[in-house]
Structure 1
Amino acid sequence: MGTKLIIDTDPGIDDAFAISLAAVSADVDLLGVTTVFGNVPLSATTINARRLLALCGRPDVPVAAGAERPLVHPQPFTAAYVHGADGLSGLSDTLPEPTRELESVDAVTLMVSLLEAADEPVTIAPIGPLTNIALLLAAHPGIREKIARIVIMGGGLDFGNTTTAAEFNIWSDPEAARRVLVEENVPCVLVPLDLTHRCAVDYEWLEKLAASGGVGGALTGLTGSYLKHYPKALGREGIVLHDTVAVAEAISPGILKTERYPIDVDTTFGPSRGATVVDRRRAQARAEHPEGTTPDNTVEVAVDTDLDGLRAFVFDRLSGSR
């Protein structure tokens, strides 16, 4: 049927677009959705995920709730100032109510069961804090062989969005992010702010999607909080659908151009807590200064894409054009 996919998410406006992109794509076998704290508390992210699947007509997709807080230290604040108090610009309750019950098991248990039952390796797309994924890999190390790759929206090479140095998903649980990106031997693709900001969509794109009706029209109706926030962040009209860029890569491997780099995550309590430290020096230069290198592991980092092609890919699917 195409890409076998599990999405781990904290909806969130950009998560809403990302979940919907996978849910309406005929070439995706969406096995399940798991939720995590992040943009808003877990109770809100969970009902949002369920309502979005109802919007997309996908009662077949199970949803399980996961971590309600980080592994070690409390999350200082949510991103309600970007997404609205309910995560969807105050409009979550305007979406269809789910007809499928929330799974009685937790997120990690659901992921394990889905992975074990799959007849081929599964892609996981974590588009929120990495707490559930760290717990999965820590508690079930043998499950790694059932994971094709983990496509992560998170981090920044040259800037952050929550602090000067840190992107929100990584900053929300740096210890979990370090466990996944640095300490585990699982293929990872990191989709950072540097690229997602370049993939921003303008008001004309949104207006055309709104006019398409259906899922695309409903999603644009949820962007009110984004439309207030992003002109300040970008310095121009438009919004950034961060998580949708990562899910596009999960669905269509290679739609993003990647380069392999050593990486570390700052888990200290200085001004760079939560920063992704990506070593972009040439290998020969790193070898001359081994005492200053990041860990030996490397991660595929998304650095470029056909911007218009990516926007068209997302538009065509959400509008029902493809």
Structure 2
Amino acid sequence: MPIPIIIDCDPGHDDAIAILLALAHPEQLDIRGITTVGGNQILDKITDNALKVLSFVNADIPVAKGAAAPLLGKLVTGEVAHGESGMDGPNLPASKFRPVEQGAVEFMLNIIRSSQEKITLVPTAPLTNIALLITAYPEVKDRIEKISLMGGGLSHGNVTATAEFNIYVDPEAARIVFESGIPIVMSGLDVTDKAAIFEDDIVELKRRGPVSVMVGELLDFYSIYGRKMGYVGNALHDPCAIAWLLHPELFQSEQLYVTVETEGKLTRGMTVADRRKKPEYAANTEVLLDVDRQAFIKLIFDALERLDQQQLHSAEGN
């Protein structure tokens, strides 16, 4: 039976690939909805990006707009990496879909309450929507199976020396989520930096079908910032949160207590793990630390091949 999920995202190049990876596996993942939150770009832009991705592959999944800004302060966007649109690169057609009328919190609440099975949340963005949900309606925590999130990093950050982007944008929300008692699987920089796709892989994608070509164009642009920052290869951060749901055996992990620093001048947004032999608190997070990169990239390629074939069959049918 497929796992019922809600994807909470801010597309974003790697968010788009995470959505496509989930869409390619309906036998394993039942996407009940997608919510958006200000992050990689402002809310209207990233919501439009989510709808464009869904429209490109003709996936009519309901999308609800969420928080435009973090719980405190102003939004810091990822425009430097993701461009003016938030998903620069391919020239995607305008979406044929529109967001639902409900806001993200009400939308998630209704899905969780009406579902016979517990819902798994997959946030690949700042955790503002999730924090607002569980703060306003704490009773839903018992109806959430787990949270498989992309965010944080134990050894390093990418916005600052200590803070990863999704956590840095809204550390107060992240702290609420990590301390919520809901089981968490954390795909942080410790693993996502190892889930890299290289130039020859991107070249191969652009020889394939329409969805693969679109992803190759996404990665062409997304690679520019990575090269500026000294990276070899392109880390596919957000797809790790989906890939773990599909094939957890691809990853190595450790059970740890994790929380988020919200006050330190040099450490605001840092995910702090207690790795002492006798930690003060019980583990609340499965922290992913390593990945079988080749198997992970094959998973991405196979998923895109599925979507390519669907596109071609749809075109032939018309």
Shared fold, TM over 0.5: yes
**Letter paired with 1:147:** I
Is the 1:166–1:273 contact (alpha carbons within 8 Å) kept by the matching residues of 2? yes
Q: Does 1:168 align with 2:165?
A: yes
Give the match for residue 279 of structure 1. 274
Deviation at 1:170, TM superposition (A): 0.2
- Per mean C-alpha deviation after superposition, the further-off stretch among 220-229 and 153-162 is 220-229
User: What are the ranges of 5 or more consecutive residues in structure 2 without an aligned counterpart?
Assistant: 310-318
- Per mean C-alpha deviation after superposition, the further-off stretch among 164-173 and 304-313 is 304-313
| 1:1-322 map, 5 Å | 1-27=1-27, 28-59=29-60, 61-75=61-75, 77-89=76-88, 91=90, 94-182=91-179, 184-236=180-232, 238-283=233-278, 286=279, 293=280, 295-296=281-282, 298-320=284-306
**Letter paired with 2:302:** D
Matched residue SS, 1:222: helix
Deviation at 1:305, TM superposition (A): 2.2
Whole-Å Cα distance in 2 between the matches of residues 89 and 47 of structure 1? 13
Matched residue SS, 2:149: strand
Whole-Å Cα distance in 2 between the matches of residues 180 and 71 of structure 1? 13
Deviation at 1:145, TM superposition (A): 2.3
Matched residue SS, 1:223: helix
Whole-Å Cα distance in 1 between the matches of residues 246 and 119 of structure 2? 11
Is the 1:196–1:245 contact (alpha carbons within 8 Å) kept by the matching residues of 2? yes
Whole-Å Cα distance in 1 between the matches of residues 5 and 83 of structure 2? 28
User: What are the ranges of 5 or more consecutive residues in structure 1 without an aligned counterpart?
Assistant: 287-292
Deviation at 1:23, TM superposition (A): 1.6
Q: Matched residues, percent identical?
A: 37
Deviation at 1:90, TM superposition (A): 5.4
Give the match for residue 290 of structure 1. none
Matched residue SS, 1:220: helix
Matched residue SS, 1:278: strand
Whole-Å Cα distance in 2 between the matches of residues 262 and 227 of structure 1? 33
Whole-Å Cα distance in 2 between the matches of residues 235 and 11 of structure 1? 21
Deviation at 1:202, TM superposition (A): 0.4
What is the TM-score with the length of structure 1 in the denominator?
A: 0.90
Is the 1:23–1:53 contact (alpha carbons within 8 Å) kept by the matching residues of 2? no
Is the 2:67–2:129 contact (alpha carbons within 8 Å) kept by the matching residues of 1? yes
Deviation at 1:254, TM superposition (A): 4.0
Matched residue SS, 1:263: strand
Matched residue SS, 2:253: strand
Deviation at 1:228, TM superposition (A): 1.0
**Letter paired with 1:122:** I
**Letter paired with 1:230:** G
Change (3 A) 1:133 1:254: farther
Q: Cα RMSD over matched residues?
A: 1.7
Superimposed CA distance per residue, residues 32-88 of structure 1 (whole angstroms, 9 cap, x where no aligned partner):
1000000100011100001111112102x100000000012223x311010101111
Whole-Å Cα distance in 2 between the matches of residues 36 and 170 of structure 1? 13
Superimposed CA distance per residue, residues 213-262 of structure 1 (whole angstroms, 9 cap, x where no aligned partner):
121211211234312111233442x2111001111113334432221111
Deviation at 1:207, TM superposition (A): 1.5
Whole-Å Cα distance in 2 between the matches of residues 228 and 314 of structure 1? 21
Is the 2:126–2:166 contact (alpha carbons within 8 Å) kept by the matching residues of 1? yes
Whole-Å Cα distance in 2 between the matches of residues 140 and 297 of structure 1? 24
Whole-Å Cα distance in 2 between the matches of residues 234 and 196 of structure 1? 16
Matched residue SS, 1:133: helix
Deviation at 1:270, TM superposition (A): 0.7
Whole-Å Cα distance in 2 between the matches of residues 140 and 189 of structure 1? 22
Deviation at 1:5, TM superposition (A): 1.4
Whole-Å Cα distance in 1 between the matches of residues 263 and 127 of structure 2? 17
Superimposed CA distance per residue, residues 285-311 of structure 1 (whole angstroms, 9 cap, x where no aligned partner):
x4xxxxxx5x54521101122221111
Whole-Å Cα distance in 1 between the matches of residues 89 and 299 of structure 2? 28
Matched residue SS, 2:197: coil
Is the 2:113–2:143 contact (alpha carbons within 8 Å) kept by the matching residues of 1? yes
- Per mean C-alpha deviation after superposition, the further-off stretch among 203-212 and 36-45 is 203-212
Give aligned pairs, total.
307
What is the TM-score with the length of structure 2 in the denominator?
A: 0.92
Matched residue SS, 1:123: strand
Give the match for residue 289 of structure 1. none
Is the 2:207–2:213 contact (alpha carbons within 8 Å) kept by the matching residues of 1? yes
